[in-house]
Chains A and B, each alone.
Chain A
Amino acid sequence: MSRRSAPAWPVWLVLLGAAALMSLPLPAALAPFRPPWASMAVIYWVMMWPRRFGPGSAWLIGLLLDVLQGDILGQHAFSLCILGYLTLRFHLQIRIFPLWQLTATVFALLALEAFLLFWIDGMAGNPPVGIARWSQVLVGGLLWPPVMALLDRIRERLEQRDRAFA
């Protein structure tokens, strides 16, 4: 029950920050290798705090991404919602995976999300993105261990503080 009183707003800040990082200006040469920060943050928090974060919060972050990136309204909301649901559905299994297996799972989830975005682009008649959409998945998978270590520290801080107050 202790988790109920742990503050959720720092996590929302992290999620907002991840969404904002998606539109941080990068040199054109690096742009195809921008990691999908928002998806990674959503996977992490849904996996670790499944009572607080689920498809709904993922949907909200997705809508923000749509507005920031100027895509069709609902494109990221849809893909992140599916991502959030799948993570929630399997969070008990993937949480106890060793790191390499977890990384592989995240890789698969990110690839699925990229495929959904690609599919929606095709349905809406947007010009195809090409190889860059998939290089993002690769970078996201490779960066998962350090990102997870960082988010773990934030989560431990929050849970510790919570215990101190309880």
Chain B
Amino acid sequence: MALNTPDSEQRGFRETSPGLRAAVFCLIAVLLMVTDSRSQLLLDLRRVLAASAYPLQLLLDSPVAAGRWLAENLATRGQLLDENEALQRRLLEQAGRLQRMASLEQENARLRALLESTAKVSDRVLIAEIMAVDMNPFRQRIVINKGSRDGVFVGQALIDADGVVGQVTRDQVFSAEALLITDVEHAVPVELLRTRQRTIAVGTGQVDRLSLPFLPRNADVQPGDLLVTSGLGGSFPPGYPVGTVTEVSSGPGEPFLTVSAQPAAKLDRIREVLLIWPGQATAAGERGP
């Protein structure tokens, strides 16, 4: 094989040796890693980098977005009519429920006023779409198409129609990264709706399972119990559904129950999420649990 290209012969003419350059680059990488994992100094640098990588992500997202656009625009009249009818029916149902809700909310506010505790103001929300971009495949992270330009902040809660989805971990200019509640590094302060027992729901890394590792053996918990956010910790506003307890077991000699729960939100098939700005101001700079 004739492979003595000019490349290899002229390697000696380089200004610096490749080893030296590699060492310098590695040193920079190590410094970046240490700074990034130990402090918040690189947040702005990452914002700039992420904003410049955003076109690439848009490009990756575009086939999926185009497919959705086509599906929306090529629907037949019959399909649209059917969908319209179904949506109207649901609207009517929900409007009925909302009427009752409005009176309950008023009653709640009145009772709270009597007790002189702060009234819960309704939360501001914004719809964001999940971009079809895979992050590190071993973590439960997503990218949404709203960023600090739209007022998204770190620690902000994400919900969908069924329950809590996760929280924002990095706010970039045009997009934001969020951690799902099932990621192994994520924990939500929750309470059991039936008994008001407070505990913490920890992610397992599986998209359909949460774990409640801190319930003592004598805790009153049974399969089917609903978990809602307790509002403690300040990241999540109280009262949003998180999941349902599916399994309770206790090994002999263990101080805590082994409890698993299924997330209320269908985390593996959501396309749109709601960003919440809670009525009460929460600590905006808080960086996850």
Contact = CB atoms under 8 A, between A and B. Distances in A.
Interface residues of B, number: 51
B135 A69 contact: yes
Contacts of B57: 23, 68
Interface of B: 1, 3, 5-8, 10-11, 18-19, 21-22, 25-26, 28-33, 35-37, 42, 45-46, 49-50, 53, 56-57, 59-60, 64, 132-139, 141, 169-170, 177, 184-185, 205, 207, 268
- Which secondary structure dominates where chain B touches chain A? helix
Contacts of B177: 70
A141 interface: no
B25 A56 contact: yes
Given A59-B29, A78-B26, A51 B10 contact: yes
How many of chain A's residues touch chain B, expressed as a range? 35 or more
A153 B8 CA distance: 21
Contacts of A124: 33, 37
Contacts, number: 135
Contact of B26 (A49, A72, A82, A129): A82
Nearest to A22: B134
19 contacts: A3-B5, A16-B56, A20-B59, A25-B134, A26-B137, A31-B134, A32-B137, A50-B11, A54-B22, A55-B22, A59-B29, A68-B133, A70-B141, A75-B29, A82-B26, A85-B22, A88-B18, A88-B22, A92-B8
- Which secondary structure dominates where chain A touches chain B? helix
B29 A77 contact: yes
Given A1-B6, A24-B60, A51-B7, A73 B36 contact: yes
